[in-house]
Amino acid sequence: MTTPTRRLVVTGATGKQGGALITALLSKPTASFEIYALTRNASSPSAQRLASKPNVHLIEGNFSDPTAIFKQVKEPWGLFSVTNPMDHVKEEKEGKAMTAAAVQAGVRHIVFTGTDRGVNSETDETTVPHFASKFHIEKDIEQKAKQSNGKLTYTFLRPVAFFDNMTNDFMGKAFVSMWKLNGEDHKLQMIATSDIGKVAAEAFLNAESGEYRNQAVALAGDDLSPREAAKVFKEVTGQELPTTFSFVGVLLKWLLHKQLGLMFNWFKSDGFTVDVPELKRKHPFLKDFRAWLETESAWAKKSQ
Ligand SMILES: NC(=O)c1ccc[n+]([C@@H]2O[C@H](COP(=O)([O-])OP(=O)(O)OC[C@H]3O[C@@H](n4cnc5c(N)ncnc54)[C@H](OP(=O)(O)O)[C@@H]3O)[C@@H](O)[C@H]2O)c1
């Protein structure tokens, strides 16, 4: 029996998580999805790279007008929903509007990617504004799913900090500098965005299964301190882990208090609490820092 083709709207398609989902779906020859990849600019190089892939159709649109996005897709079955965290009030408004437009268009399964919120992820919005906005978007999806009497289902992905924040540029160095302010031995859980894409693909492929239907999945691939990361980095690249002066980290946390300052403080006071070994039993492909460095990081790409 052949599975009917399902139309999937992927937001953030030119970004890390949406892009990783598309890569993961296209790597599965049995998956029958038509992918509608959202971008604000279809002529950008990253959008054009997507356009050249099989089963991928570019759609132009903006989170500010989600109804216009769904007008471009006939009978959409699924939505991968990513949000822009820079202004948490706008993020919540846009995330909820995206859900409402998807419901209006008849979408059956939403995969919303937010963030892990520690031990009380189900009930605690946390002190981090852009974690709280994601919490409220989840609650809104839950409510809409309940009201739909089973017509709408969802999967919440709750990733921890991305390894991909460690880029070989100023922002990558600043990330490490802010991380180190919490202490050389204070651990932070991290994940490769490619692995988020793989689990997102599983969630769409198995939307009806108990593992993903109306479930939340916290995602992490490693739990490591700056000292441990520096050791692995040296072993893999022969170099010191790139960082910058600690005052740069202090200044950035102050300048971007709501976006970065409160988040790094929360990493120290509360922190992510994913059971990484248990998760790896379910998803053995999840990369630790060493595997990510060797295969996908800027340093791996340089040595290839
Ligand atoms: N970095 C971390 O450690 C971390 C950890 C957990 C969760 N998160 C969350 O991950 C989310 C970001 O995901 P990401 O890192 O995969 O994204 P990303 O790589 O930063 O890319 C952003 C994507 O969003 C699209 N986009 C941005 N504003 C848009 C708008 N107004 N309308 C339509 N599309 C828009 C961009 O598309 P175009 O430019 O092509 O239009 C692009 O595809 C945030 O909510 C963040 O809080 C991050």
Domains and CATH numbers, the chain: 6-164+190-222+272-286 (3.40.50.720)
Cα distance between residue 107 and residue 121, in whole Å: 26
Q: Are 58 and 42 in contact (CB under 8 A)?
A: yes
Give residue 192's pLDDT. 98
Provide the pLDDT for residue 3.
59
pLDDT, tens digit, 9 for 90 and up, residues 100-138: 999 999 999 999 999 999 999 999 999 999 999 999 999
pLDDT of residue 304 exceeding 60, the answer is no
Question: Ligand 1 site: residues with CB under 6 angstroms?
Answer: 12-18, 38-41, 44, 47, 62-63, 82-85, 115, 130, 159, 161-162, 165
Choose one of 43, 70, 82 to mutate for the ligand 1 pocket test, by most ligand atoms within 8 angstroms of C-beta. 82
Question: Which run of H or E residues covers position 154?
Answer: strand 153-159
Ligand 1 centroid to 17 CA: how many Å? 8
User: Is 1 a residue whose pLDDT tops 60?
Assistant: no
| Mean pLDDT across 23-49 | 94
Q: Quote the pLDDT of residue 31.
A: 75
159 Cα–ligand 1 center, Å: 13
In this predicted structure, the answer to whether residue 37 has a pLDDT above a threshold of 80 is yes
List phi, psi (to 5°) of 169.
-150, -170
Q: Tell me which residue of 73, 64, 17, 56 sits closest to 47, measured CA to CA.
A: 56
pLDDT in the model for residue 29: 81
